[in-house]
Homo-oligomer: A and B are copies of this chain.
């Protein structure tokens, strides 16, 4: 249907993958960290034909209705469409589908062509009691997209990719009305053509949509300047079984509860977001990305914090801890002697400046604006960084980052081919709790991996700062034991999330709740808060047809993971 040809078994589009010849340092680094034989046998995905789709549940009256409403060609019941819409892209999602389990797959995939068609689908689904799961780019990594286990109703995936237009740009107001199915590159191109940018560049940018961002409260790399997606929503339209919510393009209001916030973060459980009026910005005339190295994570964090206090935070600041810095360097190491020489020279230089080998923390910083604004930001930020021992590395690391910034998730497929459990968990907290949370969560992840008998690798970076705090984004690796990986992964995830909640963090800063973070939702929102979320759900979707089973309390949350035994633990 879409010419993006998304992989059913991995990240991104078919034909685009991690290239070990281009990045020869990565696998040796990971194999070394996890004490794996670099030549261990491969563990490749099964062929698509060997993947078991669930028997199709078919509500004939609904199918007839949607065929009439959308046209036959936009109602797809074939295996390839069902397969590619089965899951998002979490480790757990990919592990299952690579091993032949596509039990999350919908019974039909619908491609509505506009809001009126979405309304027709929602009406038909309500009438015939069919489950709808809105589907944007399919890049979610929290388990937002699989069909609910045990639900006997027909399940339709609502692929929003045909609602992809930038409808209107109001340059005077810095707003743009954009359809929810627009992918990052497409909406940016359309905005750029009018001299504007949304400024939202999540790691998933190439493979995710506006509607998905809003439904999951996404954050982009430059959130320090442009805000998180919920900060950018001026108005939206959401089709629900109870009618179409339509908020108005108003900068701020005092009209009771903010209705935008009764929709943002709904994760497909409330309705189908069809479009939004987003705050946009004139394209910056100048950009510059630079690298820095800090002696340790504490001083890098202190530098980030001081920039916020002084109100000179750049548009992006990405600080790696030593583990993540080492991984990033492994990504950079090409086979060329010249590159190796540069790295060696840098190492010697840093040693001379007091950065112990393996302890350095790399920071990437991006400035944007007029020439004068960029110059001022650089001056102010450099003064702060210097005061905290930051060593300027120039623009070479920035160029390298800009080239590769959307590539990292591809490496996970390569690692999974080699039996490595690798994934991420991220959180946010206030500044005063950031280092304690960092230490506690790092130790908890390492301990959980070790308790399962594997060497552990963990790295962390800070990528979003606010006046009151920042995010912490952990990447971890462990050696999988064939057939037991899901339990291993769950125990790592549990350890990380338990540490987040115990030390003042949230269950997720920008990856949503989905299935994988549901066990921690009541603790995060407080039980009455969660009950109120459920009330909003019932108001919009009284018969529970929209992505059922999410954003609700559960007595046996781990059963939703497919690991019922864990709930007793």
User: Which of A's residues lie within 8 Å of B, judged by CB?
Assistant: 170, 172-175, 216-219, 228, 230, 234, 240, 242-259, 261-262, 264-267, 279, 281-282, 305, 308-311, 369-370, 373, 376, 428-433, 464, 466-471, 504-513, 517, 521, 524-536, 538-540, 551
Chain B residues within an 8 Å CB radius of A517:
255
Q: Is the CB of B240 within 8 A of A528?
A: yes
Q: Is the CB of B253 within 8 A of A508?
A: yes
Q: Is the CB of B250 within 8 A of A429?
A: yes
Q: Is the CB of B528 within 8 A of A254?
A: no
How far apart sit A308 and B468, CA to CA, in the bound complex (Å)?
23
Closest to A518 in B: B256
How far apart sit A466 and B530, CA to CA, in the bound complex (Å)?
31
| Cβ-neighbour of A468 out of B173, B219, B311 (below 8 A) | B173
Expressed in whole angstroms, the minimum distance between the Cβ of A533 and any Cβ of chain B is 5
Chain B residues within an 8 Å CB radius of A305:
172
Q: Is the CB of A172 within 8 A of B217?
A: no
| Cβ-neighbour of A467 out of B246, B279, B529 (below 8 A) | B279
Closest to A380 in B: B372
| Cβ-neighbour of A243 out of B258, B311, B430, B527 (below 8 A) | B527
Q: Is the CB of A524 within 8 A of B253?
A: yes
Q: Is the CB of A216 within 8 A of B254?
A: yes
Q: Is the CB of A506 within 8 A of B253?
A: yes
Known A-B contacts A257-B551, A262-B529, A535-B539; the reply to A252 vs B279 at CB < 8 A is no
Closest to A223 in B: B252
Expressed in whole angstroms, the minimum distance between the Cβ of A473 and any Cβ of chain B is 12
Closest to A551 in B: B256
How far apart sit A264 and B527, CA to CA, in the bound complex (Å)?
17
Closest to A501 in B: B248
| Cβ-neighbour of A505 out of B250, B257, B464 (below 8 A) | B250
How far apart sit A254 and B536, CA to CA, in the bound complex (Å)?
17
Expressed in whole angstroms, the minimum distance between the Cβ of A231 and any Cβ of chain B is 9
How far apart sit A365 and B468, CA to CA, in the bound complex (Å)?
27
Expressed in whole angstroms, the minimum distance between the Cβ of A388 and any Cβ of chain B is 15
Chain B residues within an 8 Å CB radius of A259:
525-526, 529-530, 532-533
How far apart sit A471 and B253, CA to CA, in the bound complex (Å)?
9
Q: Is the CB of B265 within 8 A of A469?
A: no
Q: Known contacts A172-B431, A245-B526, A253-B524; can you find 13 more A-B pairs with CB under 8 A?
A: A175-B430, A249-B430, A251-B429, A251-B430, A251-B469, A252-B428, A252-B464, A252-B510, A255-B265, A257-B261, A257-B265, A259-B532, A281-B467
Expressed in whole angstroms, the minimum distance between the Cβ of A469 and any Cβ of chain B is 4
How far apart sit A210 and B284, CA to CA, in the bound complex (Å)?
38
Closest to A234 in B: B468
Known A-B contacts A175-B430, A432-B172, A467-B174; the reply to A255 vs B528 at CB < 8 A is no
Closest to A534 in B: B539
How far apart sit A264 and B258, CA to CA, in the bound complex (Å)?
8
Q: Is the CB of A532 within 8 A of B524?
A: no
Closest to A259 in B: B529
How far apart sit A246 and B505, CA to CA, in the bound complex (Å)?
14
Q: Is the CB of A258 within 8 A of B265?
A: yes
How far apart sit A464 and B250, CA to CA, in the bound complex (Å)?
13
Chain B residues within an 8 Å CB radius of A281:
467
Q: Is the CB of B525 within 8 A of A247?
A: yes
Chain B residues within an 8 Å CB radius of A228:
252
- 8 tightest Cβ-Cβ pairs between the two chains A and B: A535-B539, A261-B261, A259-B529, A173-B430, A217-B254, A251-B466, A251-B469, A253-B506
